[in-house]
Amino acid sequence: MKKNYHYYLAYRIIMVLILLIISILIINKNKNFNLVSVFASERELPIYSVERDDKKIAISFDAAYGDEYTQDILDILDKYNVKTTFFLVKFWVDKYPHQVVEIHKRGHEIGNHSATHPNMSTLSKEQMIEEIMTTHEAIYELTDEEPILFRPPFGDYNDLLIKTCRELGYYPIQWDIDSLDWKELGVQPVVDTVVRNVKSGSIVLFHNNAKYVREYLPLVIERLQEDGFEIVPISELIYYDDYRIDNSGRQKPNK
C-alpha cells in the first residue's frame, strides 16, 4: 500500500513538471503572453492621453452651466490661432443654440457630454444610449456634423459605458490634466497646474464658465506655445485604428 502511494505521488509530480515545461514553451513562443490576463479581466478604459512624440496636445472645455465667458473664450482662441474641443450637454445646447453654432462656425470641434449630466455608471444601457444619442441629434441638427467624442460627466464611467460608446461609434475621452479651474483658486494656480504637468499627447480639462478663464487662458496658451507645444482638437490627437490603451488610459499605437 505504501509502495503504491509513492508511485502515485511520483506520477503526480511528473505530470506537474510536464505541464510546467509546456507552459514555459508556450510563453517563450508568444512573447506577448500575459499570465495575469488569464486570471483577471481587464477594465475598459477611455482615452486619458495619447502617446505622441510631436509635442501635440489638446485643450478642451466642458459646457454644462452658463455661457457668460464663451464668446471671450472664442475670441482668445482666435487671437492665438488655436482650435480646440468643446464638450456640450444637451440642456446647454437647447438653452444656447446660438453659441453652439458660433463654436462650430469658428472651427472648433464639438463633443458630446450627455443630455442631463448624470453619473453615467448608474444608468442602464438603454438610458446611456438615450443620454448620448439625444445629445448627438441636437448637436447634429445645429451643426450638420455628427460628434464622435464622448466625455462622461464627472469623469464617471464603467465598463458598460465604454463598450456602449464604442458600439455607437464614439471614442470615450477623459483627461490627464485637470486644470482645477472649477475650484476658483485664482489665475496662477491654473497656469501652474497645466504648464508644469503637460507633456506630448496630454488632454487638458477646462470649463467654459470658470471664473478666471478670461485671465488664465491667454497665459496658458502663451506658455504652451513658447514651450513648443501645438494645440489641436482632440480628434486630431487620437488614433483611430490599430491602437491599445494601457492601464493608465494612455492610447498607444500598436507597433
Query: Which residues are known catalytic residues?
Result: 62, 207
Expressed in percent and rounded to 5, the helix, strand and coil fractions of the chain are 50, 15, 35
d(CA 85, CA 71): 15
Q: Strands (DSSP E) along the chain, which ranges?
A: 49-50, 56-63, 85-88, 109-112, 149-150, 171-172, 177-178, 203-207, 230-231, 243-245, 250-253
Q: How many helices (H) and strands (E) does the chain have?
A: 9, 11
Contact 154, 174 (CB under 8 A): no
With b meaning 16 or more CB within 10 Å and e meaning fewer, what string describes 189-222? bbbebbbeebebbbbbbbbbbbbbbeebbeebbe
d(CA 106, CA 145): 14
